[in-house]
Amino acid sequence: MGQPPFVCRASGEGLQDGRTYYRADGETREPTSSEWDQLMARGARQSAAPVELNVAVVGHVVAIAVDEKRTLEEFIEKTRTRLIKALPAADARQTPSTSRADTMGFAGDMAMMLDQLSTSSLMATQPEKRTEADYLSQIDSWEADFRNAWPHAVDLFVSYSLPPNEISVTNETRTYLHDVEVRLHLEGLVTTLEPEYATEEGPGWRDLKLPSPPRKWGPTKRDMTSGLGIQRDWGSLVIPSNFPPRSFPPSRTAWTNGGSVDVAVGVGDLRPEAAFESDDQESILVIRGGISATLHGTWSATARGYNDVFRGEIEVEVSEPMVLTDLLRAFLEL
């Protein structure tokens, strides 16, 4: 492509200087008009400049593992034991209580009233209203909910703990590429998690969306200060109305989970021998189960001006297994 017709430059047997000849089947002759059109079209065409891209995953892909027996099972067992031990003994439940007012008559009533009006007793005690059956049912329901929430809580813990991954695309040639788009497919048991950000103290109980255990058996204290004009400091809970919203640049990557991971990257224009690296902070690549391996991937790319799809393969190393057991035990205060 791109070669014009070649003119004969010497006369000879059957050839004349300055003319153009066409090699057909079994003969050499001057071209017909349609053959001239083909020769001129061939000369007008230009072969596309070569395209060579290097696609890579930036950051570590981590295999995560958790000892469920020393985290999930131990926490549930200890919590159930603590809650059930709070139930009163059988003989205590059957013994009628004798209040201070019963033994002291009217004087006792007055004394208790004065106590309740004192500064130290603005929190009134209310007796336990749940039955033991209700209490035990709450514990069972909490355990079921906690088990269901645990896998997602582990993922959230990782999302608060690991840095995100990005995608890099390098133009290995001296050709200016326009409007480049890359699609990457990572095979295997890899999955993507959305990064989360916590305070310096790390994620809290609500951040991991774990259900709290039921209130421990026993009387409760009702706050009697509401409506008495007592001021409290709620300033730490107030977000100023003029707090500026955070603005993020448009995302250039789209991550999809489907048993494996697919990534679409809008690279845009790519200068010769230049590199592009996404900076969206949208995904953390992990492998559950603590299996250390190498991920295999394939990629395809398109660029404006090229009526073709360019393809390649990628190998991504997986870091050594990250065992979260001790970290989660500390989080659960085991």
For 201-243, what is each residue's pLDDT tens digit?
678 888 899 999 999 988 887 654 343 333 333 233 333 344 3
What is the overall mean pLDDT for the chain? 80
Domain ranges of the chain: 1-45, 53-87+128-213+250-331
Average of per-residue pLDDT across 45-60: 82
For 77-121, what is each residue's pLDDT tens digit?
999 999 999 988 644 443 333 333 343 444 445 444 544 544 445
For 238-270, what is each residue's pLDDT tens digit?
333 443 444 445 668 899 887 789 999 999 999
pLDDT for 166 equals 93
pLDDT for 169 equals 94
HSE value, Cβ hemisphere, 13 Å, CA-based, for 59: 17
Judge contact between 163 and 283, C-beta under 8 A.
no
**Closest CA relative to residue 318, chosen from 23, 10, 63, 19:** 63
Residue 323 has pLDDT above 90, yes or no: no
Residue 144 has pLDDT above 50, yes or no: yes
The answer to pTM > 0.75 is: no
pLDDT for 245 equals 43
pLDDT for 257 equals 85
Distance between CA atoms of residues 334 and 145, nearest Å: 20
To the nearest 10 degrees (0 to 180), the angle between helices 132-161 and 74-85 is 150
Average of per-residue pLDDT across 174-184: 92
**Out of 143-157, 233-247, 294-308, which region has the weakest mean confidence (pLDDT)?**
233-247
pLDDT for 290 equals 66
CB-CB neighbours of 8 under 10 Å: 13
pLDDT band at 126 (very low <50, low <70, confident <90, very high): confident
Dihedral of the CA atoms 149, 152, 158, 163 (nearest 10)? -140
Average of per-residue pLDDT across 263-290: 90
pLDDT for 41 equals 87
pLDDT band at 200 (very low <50, low <70, confident <90, very high): low
